[in-house]
Amino acid sequence: HPDAQKFQFQAEVNRLMDIIINSLYSNRDVFLRELISNASDALDKIRFLALSDSKLLGEGDAAKLEIKVRADKHAGTLEITDSGIGMTRDDLIKNLGTIAKSGTNAFLKKAAEAKDTSNLIGQFGVGFYSAYLVADHVTVTTKHNDDKQYVWESGAEQTFTIYEDKDGEPLLRGTRLTLHLKDDAQEYLDEAKLKDLIKRYSQFINFPIFFETTEVVEVQVEEDAEEGEQASSEEEKPKGDEETDTSEEKDEETDSDDEDIKVSDGDGEDDKKPKTKTEERKSWTLLNENKPIWTRDPNDISEEEYTSFYEGIAKLPGKPLARSHFKGEGDVEFRSILYIPDKPPVGLYSGTTEEEKEAIKLYVRRVLVTDKFEYALLPRYLGFLVGIVDSDDIPINVSREMLQQSKTLDIIKRKLIRKGLEMFRSLMKQDEEEVEKKEDEDEEKDGDEKAGKPKSKYIDFWNKYGKSIKLGVIEDTSNRGRIAKLLRFRTSKTNTDDPYDWASLDNYMDRMKKDQDHIYYHSGSDLASVQESPFLEKLLKKGYEVLYLTEPIDEHMIMNLPDYDGTKFMSISKDNFKFGEKDQEEEKTKSKALKKKFKPLTKFLKEKLGDKVSKVKISNRLSQSVCVLSTDQYGYSARMEIIMKAQAF
């Protein structure tokens, strides 16, 4: 185009495009979900703005908020059109030339190292650029209320162009994406395939999605010409909701890729009559239900529907680990669906706060207000949950800042936390039920004990999100007791080679020795070094159980957990460490004698080591090793000191 102006993509976009174009991507279908979700986002934005200024919506067709999908077989293009907010020229440059998505760098780094990126791409959700999974050239035509109509184009090289669209078909408002499909992606022009994909991935989009269907019909040409046309024009009128089913059926009857096919009633005689010809008829078919799923009765919602809704909001393929669909009642009424994703989002634990934003969408009376809150709906440690909240009790046109501080949101937040924690517990319950079932089945068989612990949904969850639970112990004081029940540990009495053998604190308490008055723990940088530690020797010999803490967050957590059901925690590497009461009496007399006997040695060592140690004394904690370096009762443990140094507290 003569007016076209050329721009460079941001470096990250180029790297992302390289990955998209060069990966052998097994599931390219996701592009459609991404693009329809962008259309839906754009519609959400204009609908939200129109709440405070209805003029923004325009009139007539412009006011209709909808998505249209159209395949043009002759041109080899697929079009997705929305009447959403559209983009100004500046928006185009910024939104489709740079990438602001959190976690991008983490993703690019991983993708560069990975052999097969397809899984990563799916997890990351490449958004707009996923168009290049199937297209080698993309045209974006867009009209924003505040600007003229523009065209953005790129053939996936390092550049894109923009020009004002003076001659194109005017859009009242919104965006049209035209994908020029690659040779090997022509399947995405197939009506049945497209309809199936849209139904599968986008059925819970809250705006109507229309698909242009082509029907080949026979029309008479001669004497009945007038009558025929009348009949056909009646059939041609766009089909609304009620007619959806019939139009689909018709479509299936004539379901054919061959557009020249002649429809005949099979007796072969029609073919001889020169008075008929075939014609292509286009009509729009509504593909989705667009009644928000959360407003429906859970009893009427199938497992598939829940999963499909999850895929749409989490933008993750696969089944969630658990879900909860509930109504909040009382001071604030709301509905919510929460899911535990099958995988933690890329970057959840990589450390920067930017990457830990929650994925809860807030709707007020079915209108999406925002999904960009920072921990206003869920605390940081539950940031991995995805879902929606819809409430009638939130004023719709208050600013985001005011919303952030609103009491209503606080109430909702408290309930969401409860429900989240309940969901985790429900995984445990499911495990218990499984075990019971298995035990019944296994009753006759015997000697199966060495087979290891059964697979556990909860431990799978723990392996994925355990860090978040530990963070919860630290940060959520009001639910600390509840959260502590969710903790799992490797201990001296679990088989650390068995992926499913972990201990809860309840397990630990049940196994405690009679004279034991503390929960013992020992920390180190990895399991091996903890297990081999001389501190453990005597305890294990005497049959005490010790929790193994190997993650940096573990000690922070224990320090924030004063006790469990009244029993305090104790590091076995602390200077004042003592066994249980009875034990103490016995040991006392013995150690007194020993102390006396070895006084010259301890004195000598202290003199030799000087300031390097605070004291040298006889210990009753060892059975094999000669000596051990321990820390002061009131100081940090050795492990903690290493962590503190690393973090420069």
In angstroms, what is the minimal distance from the CB of 382 to ligand ADP?
A: 21
With beta carbons less than 8 A apart as the criterion, state whether 156 and 131 touch: no
Residue 537's CB is within 10 A of a number of other CB atoms, namely 16
Q: Is 320 in the site for Mg ion (CB under 5 A)?
A: no
Q: Is 472 annotated as a binding residue?
A: no
Number of residues that bind ligand ADP (CB under 6 A): 16
Q: How far apart are CA 541 and CA 543, in angstroms?
A: 5
Q: How far is the CB of 214 from ligand ADP (least distance, A)?
A: 24
Smaller CB separation from ligand ADP, 91 or 191: 91
Choose from ligand ADP, Mg ion, none: what does 101 bind? Cβ within 5-8 Å by kind.
Answer: ligand ADP
Cβ–Cβ < 8 Å for 359, 388: no
Sign of the alpha-carbon dihedral angle for 472, 124, 377, 400: positive
Q: Cβ(53)–Cβ(397) under 8 Å?
A: no
Residue 22: count of CB within 10 angstroms of its CB: 9
Contacts for 642 with CB less than 8 Å, ≥ 6 apart: 525
Our CB check for Mg ion shows the closer of 99 and 423 to be 99
The pair phi, psi for residue 69, each rounded to 5°, is -120, 135
* Nearest residue to 282 via CA among 563, 111, 70, 119: 70
Contact of residue 87 among ligand ADP, Mg ion, none (CB under 5-8 Å per partner type): ligand ADP
Question: Whose Cβ is closer to Mg ion: residue 103's or residue 420's?
Answer: 103
The pairing of strands 67-72 and 209-220 is parallel
Residue 519 pairs with which residues in a beta bridge? 569
Q: Does 202 interact with ligand ADP (rule: CB under 6 A)? A: no
Task: Tell me phi and psi for residue 363, to 5 degrees.
Answer: -110, 140
Interface with ligand ADP in residues 385-414 (CB under 6 A)? none
* 130 touching Mg ion, by CB under 5 A: no
Q: CA nearest 204: which of 37, 449, 381, 6?
A: 37
Burial (Cβ within 10 Å: 0-12, 13-18, ≥19) of residue 33: buried
37 known ligand binder? no
The site partner of 328 among Mg ion, ligand ADP, none (C-beta below 5 to 8 Å per kind) is: none
Helices and strands of the chain, counted as H and E runs: 19, 19
- Cite the DSSP H helix spans in 159-221: 191-202
Taking the complex as a whole, how short is the minimal distance between the CB of residue 132 and ligand ADP, in angstroms?
11
Q: Is 42 in the site for ligand ADP (CB under 6 A)?
A: yes
Positive/negative CA dihedral, 145, 146, 150, 156: negative
Nearer to ligand ADP, 174 or 420 (CB): 174
**What is the nearest approach in angstroms of ligand ADP to the Cβ of residue 124?**
10
Confirm whether residue 84 is marked as ligand binding: no
Q: Which helix (H) or strand (E) holds 571?
A: strand 567-571
> How far apart are alpha carbons 495 and 423 in whole angstroms?
27
Question: Please, which residue, 95 or 247, has the CB nearer to ligand ADP?
Answer: 95
Beta bridge partner(s), residue 361: 388
Q: Residue written as tokens 């509504």?
A: 286
Name residue 217's amino acid.
V
Give every CB contact of residue 132 below 8 A, 6+ residues apart in sequence: 17, 20, 21, 138, 156
* Of 119-127, 188-196, 296-304, 451-459: span binding Mg ion (CB under 5 A): 119-127
Element at 324 (helix H, strand E): strand 322-328
**Span from 33-41, 238-246, 409-417, 448-456 in contact with Mg ion (CB under 5 A):** 33-41
Closest approach of ligand ADP to the CB of residue 512, in Å: 50
- String marking each residue 450-469 x if it binds Mg ion according to CB under 5 A: --------------------
- φ/ψ (deg, to 5) at 440: -60, -45
Residue span binding ligand ADP (CB under 6 A) among the ranges 37-45, 293-301, 346-354, 627-635: 37-45
Known binding residue 128? Answer is yes
95 binds, among Mg ion, ligand ADP, none (CB under 5 to 8 A by kind): ligand ADP
- The DSSP call for residue 561 is -
Residue selected from 16, 35, 38, 415 as contacting Mg ion according to rule CB under 5 A: 38
Residues 6+ apart with CB under 8 A from 424: 322, 340, 458, 461, 469, 486
Instruction: Identify residues 157-186 at the interface with ligand ADP (CB under 6 A).
Output: 175
| Structure-block tokens of residue 107 | 């993703």
Question: Is there binding between residue 127 and Mg ion (CB under 5 A)?
Answer: yes
- As measured in angstroms, the least distance from the Cβ of 42 to ligand ADP is 3
Q: Is 175 annotated as a binding residue?
A: yes
Q: How far is the CB of 96 from ligand ADP (least distance, A)?
A: 6
Binding-site member from 127, 341, 345, 383 for ligand ADP (CB under 6 A): 127
Task: Tell which residue, 275, 292, 315, 289, has the closest CA to residue 127.
Answer: 315
Q: Which listed range, 34-42, 367-375, 522-530, 612-620, lies at the site for ligand ADP (CB under 6 A)? A: 34-42
Q: How far is the CB of 126 from Mg ion (least distance, A)?
A: 9
Q: Is 126 annotated as a binding residue?
A: yes
Task: For the CB of residue 91, give the shortest distance to ligand ADP in the complex, in Å.
Answer: 6
Cα–Cα separations (whole angstroms), residue 319 to 309, 316, 431: 10, 9, 18
Q: Point out the residue whose Cβ comes nearest to ligand ADP.
A: 127
Of 98 and 602, the one with the shorter C-beta distance to Mg ion is 98
543 is in an annotated binding site: no
Could you tell me how many residues of this chain bind Mg ion (CB under 5 A)? 2
- Interaction residues for ligand ADP, span 54-113 (CB under 6 A): 82, 84-87, 95-96, 101
Binds 487: which of ligand ADP, Mg ion, none (CB < 5-8 Å by kind): none
| Pick 39 or 71: Cβ nearer Mg ion | 39
Give the number of other CB atoms < 10 A from CB of residue 147: 16
CB of 432 to ligand ADP, least distance (A): 40
Rule CB under 5 A: which residues touch Mg ion?
A: 38, 127
Residue ranges of the binding site: 34, 38, 82, 87, 95, 101-103, 123-128, 175, 400
Residue ranges of the binding site for ATP: 34, 38, 82, 87, 95, 101-103, 123-128, 175, 400
Rule CB under 6 A: which residues touch ligand ADP?
A: 34, 38-39, 41-42, 82, 84-87, 95-96, 101, 127-128, 175
